[in-house]
């Protein structure tokens, strides 16, 4: 439904996770009978989870730990782990920066040292030595320069990731990466993103990618919506990408996975993302708050240290739980921020859906956000109606 913004502009109504609720079906199920596993490119994961390619979230050690729990962590191959051999002092320095110093300090740290080819290979080998699959990301601008080193080191999944990635980049300055040609010539599966609309998701799917990342600006560490004015509320963005997936399946016979990227803090958010059509989720901030995360409780996005137009901030998430408590419990808080995938399993059981594919078809209802409800209640109390 389009709404008139003014005489010369109309816009669609869009919804975030707080604006929708999952409707129970006519049956319920035993949580032990629920299957929340995810299969992509011939690989099966016990959890429909990817960890964001953020230096404060994923290092080789966390990638191994998360892999053992049944998820897939993505290492940023243009970050500090491929610029510095010893990252401990660097992470300590980032954590010690004041709020006022953070952005400039990150710019100095990342621009001081270039990406080193030998460290790309070393980090991937470290993950593989832990007995789990290795996934790593490059930006579209750098992937052609470094991907062969990563492949030779044993990379299993390549993620081509940026703030916004399109299948048709136009430039008069440089020869743009031909995503379709590039992906079709690779021997390993490729996931691309981010995107936030039906048309962009469909074009990315047509490149041959096995998955698309959906989300522009919803993450806690991202300021893209403020800096550039770009973004789509996540519930609508995921539903649009899911519609593109059906169009692509009908025209090609291939299934491309939709991965909700960012904006999820609770088990309820993850459940809503899948109910809107996601096959899996990518989260960063919740993992950054675990004791195993490398960022000393901090995390920051890939564009935070951009030399001329940073689009992100360093966020302090604390170190409030272990990775196991975050993912599988037990939860010692009742706010939905722990035991995320136990919550997903319970949500599916309560609404009667046995697996992820079924849950994508769940009925959802547009509802007032909790924030809006709170404001209405406060207003009613002020005028004597509460």
Determine, yes or no, domain membership for 18. no
Q: How many domains does the chain have?
A: 1
Burial 133-148 (b: 16+ CB within 10 A, else e): bbbbbbbbeebeebbe
**CATH number of domain containing 274:** 3.20.20.70
- Give the mean model confidence (pLDDT) for residues 53-58: 96
Asked whether residue 14 is domain-assigned, the answer is no
Rank 167-176, 214-223, 343-352 by mean pLDDT and report only the highest.
Answer: 343-352
pLDDT in the model for residue 224: 63
Split at pLDDT 50, 70, 90, the class of 218 is low
pLDDT over 80 at 66, yes or no: yes
Average pLDDT over residues 332-339: 94
Structural domain includes residue 383:
no
pLDDT given at position 197: 93
For residue 369, pLDDT over 80 is answered with no
Distances (CA, A) of 371 to 16, 19, 238, 331, 368: 12, 10, 22, 24, 8
Query: Which range marks the domain in which residue 127 is found?
Result: 23-374
Mean pLDDT, range 61-89, rounded to an integer: 98
pLDDT at 377 over 80: no
Confidence of residue 72 (pLDDT cuts 50, 70, 90): very high
In a domain, 140, yes or no: yes
With respect to residue 12, please indicate whether it lies within any of the assigned structural domains: no
Residues 6+ away with beta carbon under 8 Å from 312 = 221, 222, 223, 224, 300, 301, 302, 303, 304
Residue 225: the pLDDT is: 65
Confidence of residue 144 (pLDDT cuts 50, 70, 90): very high
Q: Is residue 382 part of a domain?
A: no
The CA distances from residue 241 to 52, 118, 238, 341, in Å, are 19, 37, 5, 23
């Amino acid at each position: 439904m389009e709404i008139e913004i003014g005489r010369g502009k109309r816009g669609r109504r869009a919804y975030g996770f707080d604006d929708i609720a999952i409707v129970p079906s006519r049956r319920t199920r035993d949580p032990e009978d629920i299957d929340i596993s995810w299969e992509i490119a011939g690989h099966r994961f016990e959890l429909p989870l990817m960890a964001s390619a953020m230096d404060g979230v994923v290092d080789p050690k966390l990638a191994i730990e998360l892999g053992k729990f049944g998820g897939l962590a993505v290492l940023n191959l243009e970050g500090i782990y491929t610029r510095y051999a010893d990252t401990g002092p660097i992470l300590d320095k980032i954590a010690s920066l004041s709020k006022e110093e953070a952005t400039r300090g990150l710019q100095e740290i990342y621009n001081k040292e270039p990406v080193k080819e030998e460290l790309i290979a070393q980090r991937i080998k470290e993950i593989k030595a832990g007995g789990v699959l290795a996934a790593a990301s490059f930006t579209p601008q750098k992937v052609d320069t470094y991907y062969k080193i990563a492949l030779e080191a044993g990379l299993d999944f390549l993620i081509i990731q940026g703030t916004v990635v399109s299948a048709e980049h136009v430039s008069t300055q440089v020869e743009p990466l031909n995503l379709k040609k590039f992906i079709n010539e690779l021997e390993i599966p490729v996931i691309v993103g981010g995107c936030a609309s039906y048309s962009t998701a469909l074009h990315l799917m047509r490149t041959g990618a096995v998955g698309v990342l959906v989300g522009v600006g919803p993450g806690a560490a991202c300021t893209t919506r403020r800096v550039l004015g770009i973004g789509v509320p996540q519930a609508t963005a995921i539903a649009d990408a899911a519609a593109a997936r059906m169009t692509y399946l009908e025209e090609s016979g291939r299934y491309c996975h939709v991965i909700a990227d960012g904006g999820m803090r609770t088990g309820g958010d993850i459940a809503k993302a899948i109910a809107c059509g996601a096959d899996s989720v990518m989260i960063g901030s919740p993992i950054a708050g675990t004791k195993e995360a490398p960022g000393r409780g901090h995390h920051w996005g890939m564009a935070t240290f951009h030399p001329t137009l940073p689009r992100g901030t360093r966020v302090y998430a604390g170190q409030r739980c272990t990775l196991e408590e975050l993912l599988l419990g037990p939860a010692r808080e009742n706010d939905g921020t722990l035991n995320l995938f136990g919550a997903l399993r319970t949500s599916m059981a309560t609404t009667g859906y046995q697996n992820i594919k079924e849950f994508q078809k769940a009925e959802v209802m547009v509802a007032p956000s909790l924030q809006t409800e709170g404001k209405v209640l406060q207003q009613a109390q002020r005028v004597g109606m509460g």
